A and B are shown apart, each in its own frame.
Chain A
């Protein structure tokens, strides 16, 4: 007799044991069962890019308790949910970000602008135009330090009970226990706008000055360490928390510049995209990205290695942004703007905040991978790059584009009519720093 075997399909073998059980899935990777694999994967990638756009809802909440424009923001390095904001009428508010409520409100903390805020451990310091620095604990009690000049910024040191302030006449370093500054640094008659302690070298201070210069100070010595000048004034200064030799400055000329401290002759990266003066910059704790706020009423999020922003946030009601701050978990961005609101944004616009089931997480990971794989395909890039912009921004950007093109054309023509030996190749980076001193 012949030997025979046939396929037997019995439904009972495929059924579930209980109702809550999952169905049996069969997998066969034979390529004849999966025709058009490449094309289908590409369509899946396109869908992933489109889903990213659908889910992109970055705005979370506006904290509306202030009655005047918000000038300064700081977040706690110890408590994830705590942040503090100061406004132009002297109010300081401590926020609980998990509940989106105001935890503590000091209505007459300063007479006039609250220009500087800083938070470390269980304290936060505020500096005002009224020449007063206040060191607050979370119950609302404060110690007062009287400075000799109207103040622009304050920063508490990462180690030891020290803080530094800067104002119209220079920089002062203070001890918590002393009412007089430990040391003072002065240069010329220009005002110092921002001051930041380096997160690893605790003696190192970075400051921006209104005479367009940026100064690095070693507090152990009595004079400035390094000074270099850009074409225009810098508004804010931020150290990269993971690569602490690098820092980024927000400049009045619409750009941000990332420098390596060891080579200040040119920036490592120029970050373009804003169309008006950049007022503030804040690093994510990962050190991979930073957020910047600008007078063009937008927040942009940049990759540290990238010259163009990867995200832009705006709302119709948000006015000039004075301060931005990344939260401690790197998931949110806070902005303080002229319209008296502190706003909370997601750092990744399409991120889902709920707890995800493992399968959901897997699907998201798969989509991310697909997007990465096909990111250079023109259609994908068009979808991924597109961001809606308000009309004034869109128009101005277009004008800038035209200007740039005409400059390029002019340069090209000039080169075409110059002797080859006279043509100079000037890198854009090398034109950023106009003066460097030690």
Chain B
């Protein structure tokens, strides 16, 4: 038996080793190089502005440095997973969906209502908009597909692509997970937030981070109705959040004019603290790990911000109006900025990953490929329970002792039974209520009520008719006095 097991383990190890080496060998296929900006001696990268860049970068990049003047701002924005489509949502109700690479407008419409946030769903064909009263889902032609009125006054939206979960948070203290593949709520958490200022997902483990007006950052998973992590980040409102793509670092910007960098694996004291002159409104981290901080109309981009406290930013840019939202374009050297006056796209060399994986995000996707990927993604949809702080836990052996596991199972079973019993009781009560109601409202009583109602209606109608007749009579009588031409005509005809 032992030899058998050993042999099996040996083959398993062999597969593991072979897989690793094969994985390593695929690095040959990474032919493209990430962008960069290298200064000469005495030069500083942060002194290079977009105007200068536009002249020295390749034509492709210079073409895509642009500003859009739009008058329904400030604008929230979102990119699809492959970075091809851009969604703009003006606070005053303007929604625009465009392929920014080809500068092609796909759809544009005006909701004539407050728009708080916009978010793409699985691809560019569907997107969610957080409107004044509820959450709405539109398709790429601008047709309203769903109106989710149970999501009351949503402030911020987030989407978990591998779980097909749309998350919304509001100031009434609700965090709601909606499974968009079946249209059913996956989880609903109640919390005590002052004000949801920012909500971001951790791309590595799918945990939702919420920053509120008390300066507390909470992390949420759908299967636990309490925050899995509660971090007091600032002495005052927490204005913005960002998490890097490896899920290691959390950056928070507060109203106390500080931007703090935390290590998610060991939260506690911040790793670094940056000071801004004005509270930081929006934070975002690129795939290669550049951090953008924007306060008022200025955006600063930092490099290696987590390793040591940097003295000067990597790049900076000043927009014409105050900044509302920023997001790096995936797989591109650009940063999208939503401002009060519209939208601007600025070039940040080295912010995007040059080598992409077409199985995850295909940049030049054909229609057929998009359809196929959608089906595959749906087939591989992860259950909400897979969202945990450490995603590596899945696929490992549960080493808890038998007693612990049995106790857990027992508790689970009891909980299930309890819920079922409650359901049964509710049903029973409802049934009894119905019975009582019916017994009171016997047929005769009902008929009487109905008859009385009908009589009332009839009376009202008769009264109305009478009134109308009286008015007509008066009008006719006084027609001569006021010289109403219409009436005269009638008389002539007669």
Which A residues are within 8 Å of any B CB, using their own CB? 1-11, 14-15, 23-30, 32-36, 38-44, 47
Contact = CB atoms under 8 A, between A and B. Distances in A.
B409 to A, nearest CB: 12
Given A23-B366, A36-B382, A47-B380, A6 B58 contact: yes
Nearest to B204: A35
Contact of B354 (A3, A7, A14, A32): A7
Contacts of B35: 4-7
A5 B349 contact: yes
Chain B contact residues, majority secondary structure: loop
Contact of B363 (A9, A28, A39): A9
A380 to B, nearest CB: 12
Nearest to B39: A2
Given A6-B349, A8-B61, A43 B39 contact: no
B381 interface: yes
B423 interface: no
Interface stretch (B25-33, B134-142, B296-304): B25-33
A10 to B, nearest CB: 7
Contacts of B308: none
Interface residues of B, number: 62
A47 B380 CA distance: 8
Choose among A4, A23, A44 the residue with the greatest number of B CB atoms under 10 Å from its CB.
A4
Contacts of A40: 162, 380, 382
Contacts of B358: 24-27
B32 A7 contact: yes
Given A6-B349, A7-B35, A32-B245, 7 more contacts: A5-B349, A6-B57, A9-B364, A26-B355, A28-B29, A35-B391, A36-B162
B436 interface: no
Interface stretch (B40-48, B182-190, B215-223, B320-328): B40-48
A44 B333 contact: no
Contacts of B29: 26-28
A4 B391 contact: no
B60 to A, nearest CB: 4
27 contacts: A1-B56, A2-B43, A3-B37, A4-B37, A4-B53, A5-B35, A6-B333, A7-B34, A7-B331, A8-B60, A9-B363, A23-B366, A25-B359, A26-B29, A28-B29, A28-B355, A29-B26, A30-B357, A32-B204, A33-B361, A35-B204, A35-B206, A36-B206, A39-B386, A40-B382, A42-B394, A43-B380
A36 B162 CA distance: 8
Interface of B: 23, 26-27, 29-30, 32-40, 43, 45, 48, 53, 56-58, 60-61, 101, 162, 203-206, 245-247, 287, 331-333, 347, 349, 352-361, 363-364, 366, 369, 379-383, 386, 391-392, 394-395
B375 to A, nearest CB: 12
Given A1-B56, A4-B53, A26-B355, A39 B391 contact: yes
A24 B364 CA distance: 10
A6 B34 CA distance: 7
A6 to B, nearest CB: 4
B23 A5 contact: no
A-side interface mostly: loop
B36 A4 contact: yes
Contacts of A44: 380
Contacts of B347: 6
A4 B57 contact: yes
Given A1-B56, A27-B358, A7 B332 contact: yes
Given A3-B38, A4-B57, A38 B395 contact: yes
Nearest to B84: A9
Contact of B364 (A1, A14, A38, A39): A14
Nearest to A36: B162
A26 B162 contact: no
A29 B25 CA distance: 10
B23, B36, B380 interface centre (most CB from chain A within 10 Å) = B380
B382 A5 contact: no
Contacts of A38: 391-392, 394-395
Nearest to B45: A2
A26 B40 CA distance: 34
A91 B20 CA distance: 62
The 6 closest A-B pairs by CB, nearest first: A38-B395, A3-B38, A39-B386, A6-B61, A6-B35, A6-B333
A48 to B, nearest CB: 11
Contact of B395 (A4, A25, A42): A42
Contacts of B356: 26, 28, 33
A35 B53 CA distance: 34
A46 to B, nearest CB: 10
Contacts of B27: 29
Nearest to A47: B379
Contacts of A41: 395
A27 B357 contact: yes
Contacts of B381: 43
A54 to B, nearest CB: 12
Contacts of A36: 162, 205-206, 382, 386, 391
B391 A23 contact: no
A10 B205 CA distance: 32
B395 to A, nearest CB: 4
Contacts of A42: 394-395
A29 B57 contact: no
A34 B360 contact: yes
Contacts of B36: 3-5
B378 to A, nearest CB: 11
A29 B247 CA distance: 17
A408 B27 CA distance: 59
Nearest to B355: A28
A28 B26 CA distance: 8
A38 B361 CA distance: 19
A2 to B, nearest CB: 5
A224 to B, nearest CB: 36
Contacts of B48: 2
A133 to B, nearest CB: 46
Contact of A9 (B23, B45, B101, B203): B101
A208 B391 CA distance: 59
Nearest to A8: B60
